[in-house]
Amino acid sequence: MSISPSIDPAMRRLAEEIGNTVVEQLFSRLQKGETLVTPQFLSPRQASVYTNTPLKTLEARRHKRESPKFYRIGGRIRYAVEDLRAFIIEGGAVK
């Protein structure tokens, strides 16, 4: 990955160090046999960002039992990523 030459050299070194550290940590975790997993369920705030839908709109839709489908997991509201994708595809997300 190349970084623009107009960036301050100190900032460039910092960005490269951060990138190298992240790669080393991920590689180390993979070598230990850890599985890196994408979350299957999102909190209401995460779902709001994911769908570009205001949190209050998701809350209102939840009370009306409208999509996207939600789950209570451990007493907390969660949205399945696959349901959020369907919600976006069917045009329910704010554009």
**H helices present in the chain, as ranges:** 9-31, 44-51, 55-63, 81-89
pLDDT value at residue 3: 54
Chain centre distance of CA 13: 27
pLDDT value at residue 43: 94
Structure tokens at 70: 């939600």
Dihedral of CA 89/91/94/95: which sign?
A: positive
Report yes or no on whether pTM surpasses 0.85. no
Chain centre distance of CA 56: 19
- The angle formed by the CA atoms of residues 48, 52 and 57, to the nearest 5 degrees, is 55
pLDDT value at residue 39: 82
Residue 76 is which amino acid? R
Q: Could you tell me the residue ranges of all domains in the chain?
A: 8-36, 41-89
Give per-residue pLDDT as tens, 75-94: 999 999 999 999 999 887 66
